[in-house]
């Protein structure tokens, strides 16, 4: 019995009533740090040191306290700790991305990292087109004293937002297509590499008339994906004419509209690369409208590997972005000093070949 080891204990008999086992149906008095300290025969400060993994504790003292905490099922109160620490145990996910699949995947990845750590995930969607969205994030992190936040594209690309976080000394991690910050704050997704694969693939199939529907140019992902694609083709001696490159909005509707224009061109492109899957679905619709078939009349490649890719008919070849891993690494990075360190955020997208491409006829 650990309790029998108790030496001279601070006499606080009235305050610390131990939850005597069997005294009542359920445990009424929640165990606190005082109770643990009393049972272990040490000061609460020592227990606190054990909780916070301070090296300034003798090994046997630490063991005794740890065992006791485990046996009793003691978990320190995050509210009390937050008050004293002036920092909560909440991790914020700040995003401005309407793609539900993307968001849920990322949440799940982050939750994978947070599970068992005592930290919780708080979601904060915002509208980066609204000038004062940064004020909203400021209130969010300040009011609840967030432990840290991770930023999803496109808000991750906004230096003003980051400056605000720095000003308030708020931990953060940024997810973006290229590095925009110190290594310890970046999850880099290398979108370019995925686009390079697509270019090589379409070229290997023998396509000469290749078109592209991009996202908004203000997005880094657009510049990286589009840039990597065109550059690779250029390196292989294929210059994509300007009229074959249209700017979409990463939406289904913009995919339809752009594809209708492209498919009316002469010569008609034999392959279209859309910088996300939503727009690829739009290309399918436009092709059907015009009586053209995928891939017989036009090959299509998307980007993201969202669920719609495998639900389309024919199923869509696309670049898979390991979104869940991105969320996992982002959260892990925020807890780096708390949890398992050394999780290297190496994200590499890959082409997934399905049924939407064939050689031109």
Beta strand extents in the chain (DSSP E only):
90-95, 120-125, 148-151, 171-176, 186-188, 210-214, 245-247, 271-274, 299-304, 317-320, 350-352
Q: Which CB atom, from 194 or from 282, has the smaller least distance to a second copy?
A: 282
The binder of 128, among a second copy, DNA, none, by C-beta within 5 to 8 A per type, is none
Place of tokens 């390196």: 235
Where does this chain bind a second copy (CB under 8 A)?
Answer: 26, 75, 77-80, 82-83, 88-90, 100-101, 103-105, 107-108, 111, 118, 120-123, 125, 140, 143-145, 167, 252, 278, 281-282, 284-285, 288, 307-308, 310-311, 313
Other beta carbons within 10 Å of 297: 15
Span near DNA by CB under 7 A; candidates 44-52, 161-169, 176-184, 306-314: 44-52
Q: Residue 7, exposed/middle/buried by CB under 10 A (0-12, 13-18, 19+)?
A: exposed
Q: Which CB atom, from 58 or from 129, has the smaller least distance to DNA?
A: 58
Span near DNA by CB under 7 A; candidates 39-47, 103-111, 120-128, 237-245: 39-47
Angle of CA points 238, 240, 246, to nearest 5°: 155
CB of 38 to a second copy, least distance (A): 21
Q: Residue 204, exposed/middle/buried by CB under 10 A (0-12, 13-18, 19+)?
A: exposed
Encoded one letter per residue, x for contact with DNA by CB under 7 A and - for no contact, window 74-103 reads x-xx--xx-xxxx-----------------
3-class DSSP assignment, residue 361: coil
Contacts (Cβ under 8 Å, ≥6 apart) of 45? none
**Could you say which of 18, 44, 200, 339 contacts DNA (CB under 7 A)?**
44
Q: Is residue 150 a contact partner of residue 95, using CB atoms and an 8 Å limit? A: no
Residue 30 within binding range of DNA, rule CB under 7 A: yes
Binding site for DNA (CB under 7 A): 10, 15, 30, 32-34, 42-49, 51-52, 55-59, 61-62, 74, 76-77, 80-81, 83-86
């Amino acid at each position: 019995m650990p309790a029998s080891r108790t030496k001279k204990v601070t006499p606080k008999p009235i305050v610390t009533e131990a939850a005597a086992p069997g005294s009542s149906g359920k445990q009424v008095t929640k165990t606190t740090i005082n109770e643990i300290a009393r049972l272990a025969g040490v000061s609460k400060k020592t227990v606190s040191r054990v909780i916070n993994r301070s090296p300034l504790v003798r090994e046997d003292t630490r063991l005794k306290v740890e065992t006791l905490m485990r046996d009793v099922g003691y978990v320190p109160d995050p509210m009390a700790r937050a008050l004293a620490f002036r920092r909560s145990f909440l991790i914020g996910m700040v995003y401005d991305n309407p793609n539900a699949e993307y968001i849920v995947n990322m949440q799940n990845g982050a939750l994978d990292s947070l599970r068992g750590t005592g930290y919780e995930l708080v979601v904060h969607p915002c509208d980066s087109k609204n000038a004062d969205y940064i004020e909203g994030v400021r209130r969010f992190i300040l009011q609840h004293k967030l432990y840290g936040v991770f930023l999803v594209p496109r808000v991750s690309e906004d230096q003003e937002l980051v400056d605000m976080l720095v000003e308030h000394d708020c931990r953060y991690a940024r997810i973006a297509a290229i590095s925009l910050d110190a290594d310890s704050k970046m999850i880099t997704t290398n979108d370019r590499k995925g686009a390079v694969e697509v270019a090589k693939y379409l070229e290997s199939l023998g396509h000469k008339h290749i078109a592209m529907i991009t996202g908004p140019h203000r997005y880094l992902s657009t510049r990286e994906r589009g840039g990597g694609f065109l550059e690779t083709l250029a390196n292989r001696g294929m210059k994509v004419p300007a009229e074959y490159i249209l700017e979409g909005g990463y939406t289904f509707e913009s995919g339809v509209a752009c594809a209708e224009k492209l498919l009316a061109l002469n010569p008609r492109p034999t392959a279209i690369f859309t910088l996300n899957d939503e727009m690829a679905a739009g290309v399918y619709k436009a092709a059907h409208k015009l009586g053209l078939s995928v891939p017989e009349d036009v090959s299509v490649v998307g980007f993201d590997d969202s669920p719609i890719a495998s639900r389309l008919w024919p199923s869509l070849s696309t670049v898979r972005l390991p979104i869940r891993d991105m969320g996992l690494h982002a959260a892990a990075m925020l807890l780096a000093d708390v949890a398992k360190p050394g999780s290297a955020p190496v994200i590499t997208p890959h082409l997934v070949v399905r049924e939407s491409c064939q050689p031109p006829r």
